[in-house]
Amino acid sequence: MAVRDIVLLGDPVLREPAREVETFDEELQTLVDDMFATMVVAEGAGLAAPQVGVSLRVLVADVRHSEGEHARAALVNPRVVENGSELDKEPEGCLSIPGVREVVERPWSVVVEGTDPAGEPVRIEAEGLWARVLQHEIDHLNGVLFIDHLSPLKRRMLLKRYRKLRSEEDAGS
Ligand code: NI
């Protein structure tokens, strides 16, 4: 298992729709293992393959609910097949846009279908934070970032904050 570099906002791979996985081999399992390791080190709740520079429809997610409930999945070719009617607003961040968070509105529940890394069908009925993380990561597979869900004004303000953070970091290193 290896920790991979996470690509940041501005890298074109984050804006490309990722390719469908067609081969369920050892290379895919290695990618999934590396993505879990990378996510843990980065202290994220989810990670999509494009975030490690691999344009494939693969995500990992690991969510600990406050009630101690635990949800973990590696999904291949996942898609949202059903959106709940109830909407939910919560702050969201992204490992590819570190240091900034903003409230994003999304369906509170979704049904996701895909396969596991062995190619076996998976269906997940997710709610709350678990549903939010899965939607965020599936967005990544379509070249969509959480900032795309914000109003133009909120997005401009967030990007301004982000650029300021990055330039302070550059100046400090
Ligand atoms: Ni993200």
124 CA to centre of ligand 1 in angstroms: 20
User: What's the number of domains the chain is made of?
Assistant: 1
**Residue 2 domain flag:** no
* pLDDT confidence of residue 69: 72
* pLDDT confidence of residue 44: 95
* pLDDT confidence of residue 49: 98
Length of the chain: 173
Backbone angles phi, psi at 155, to 5 degrees: -65, -45
- Reading phi first (left if > 0) and then psi (alpha if -120 to 50, else beta), residue 77 is in left
Active site residue 125: no
Q: Which residue has the tokens 């909407």?
A: 87
* pLDDT confidence of residue 76: 98
**Residue 1 domain flag:** no
Burial 129-155 (b: 16+ CB within 10 A, else e): bbbbbbbbbbbbbebbbbbebbeeeeb
165 CA to centre of ligand 1 in angstroms: 18
**Residue 4 domain flag:** no
- C-alpha 171/C-alpha 87 separation (Å) is 41
Neighbours of ion ligand 1 (CB under 5 A): 94
- C-alpha 45/C-alpha 71 separation (Å) is 10
Q: What's 97's domain CATH number?
A: 3.90.45.10
- C-alpha 35/C-alpha 27 separation (Å) is 12
Q: Which domain holds residue 49?
A: 12-172
150 CA to centre of ligand 1 in angstroms: 14
85 CA to centre of ligand 1 in angstroms: 23
Query: Which candidate, 52, 38, 22, places its Cα nearest to that of 141?
Result: 52
Mean pLDDT in runs of 10 for the chain (173 residues)?
Answer: 96 98 98 98 97 98 80 96 98 97 98 98 96 98 98 97 92 71
21 CA to centre of ligand 1 in angstroms: 20
DSSP character string of 10-23: T-GGGGSPPBPP--
110 CA to centre of ligand 1 in angstroms: 18
User: Catalytic: which of 67, 120, 125, 137?
Assistant: 137
**Residue 7 domain flag:** no
**Residue 42 domain flag:** yes
**Residue 53 domain flag:** yes
Q: What is the largest CA-CA distance in the chain?
A: 48
